[in-house]
Amino acid sequence: MKITEGYMPFLGHQTYYRIAGECRDGKAPLLLLHGGPGSTHNYFEVLDALADTGRAIISYDQIGCGNSYLDGHPELWTLETWTRELIALREHLGLDRVHLLGQSWGGMLAIGYLCNCQPDGVASVILSSTLSSASLWAHEQHRRISFLSEEDQQAIADAERTGNFDTPECVRATEHFMLRHCAGEITEESPECMRRPKRSGSEAYLYGWGPNEFTPSGSLKDFEYTDRLHEIRCPALIISGTNDLSSPLVSKTMYDNIPGARWELFDGCRHMCYVEENEKYIRLLTGWMDETE
């Protein structure tokens, strides 16, 4: 499989991108928007097999992480910055017609981009384990915290009262929470792209979102797009897992408000359906993109 890598100048810095495969038979490429903010493109490499269907699969490290690492610029970590980067990347790569897949924070970016910019040439959007409301997200995470042990619940409550989320007790409780709803531990059996060391954008995450998944306090804390979802004009596929950070209520809220949307709920999956049910996820995306074209 052909892999093409490169960099795009952006705001005086560099944005890394990676293209797997090439487009054939007039098929539109798939552009992947990773989570975090600050998570890097790495985990998306488990979707390289999609390139075998005759599509270029394009991922990139958003400014602030991975091969686009940057810190010391807290003023940059906003929806506006990352939207401008997405617009610039489409122009740089000549992506006149494209499918968008946003996972977690990447789905928020896709929603903001579609609603605020009304871009041309988006064949479809796949909203994978994401959200349209930061307040609903925080509510659902706190509901699920109540299912942790009394000790873990107390540790998180203490941290929220003091503002110190770095105590050993809170760190341990947060790890337990993320194991339930985000992803399993990385082992020797995990895909190489998951095991590979990466430079996460901790500053981008803290100033963009907050100290953890249940405390949105950064620039995205007021991300409330549920009442604007009807503005999304392209076909929309929502994907989530039953045990996902994007709870069934969060996902159903998007499904109910995007005209004509389709929702696929992956039984037993957490926040990374594309890893935990990789073959099923790839089949779903392949069929979806073929159908919407």
Active site residue 104: yes
- Of the candidates 39, 59, 68, 104, the residue annotated as catalytic is 104
Q: Whole domain around residue 89: which residue ranges?
A: 3-137+192-292
Query: For the chain, which ranges sit under pLDDT 70?
Result: none
Residue 271 lies in a domain: yes
Residue 150 lies in a domain: no
- Of the candidates 129, 244, 246, 251, the residue annotated as catalytic is 244
Residue 145 lies in a domain: no
Residue 10 lies in a domain: yes
Question: What pLDDT, on a 0 to 100 scale, did the predictor assign at position 185?
Answer: 86
CATH code, domain with 71 = 3.40.50.1820
The number of domains in the chain is 1
Residue 156 lies in a domain: no
- Of the candidates 34, 41, 99, 271, the residue annotated as catalytic is 271
Residue 147 lies in a domain: no
Each residue's pLDDT tens digit, 152-199: 999 999 999 999 999 999 999 999 999 999 998 888 888 888 889 899
Residue 119 lies in a domain: yes
Residue 19 CA to residue 22 CA, distance in Å, equals 8
Question: What pLDDT, on a 0 to 100 scale, did the predictor assign at position 87?
Answer: 98
Q: Looking at the chain, list the stretches that DSSP marks H as alpha helix, in order from N- to C-terminal side.
A: 79-93, 105-117, 134-145, 150-162, 168-181, 192-195, 202-208, 248-257, 273-276, 278-292
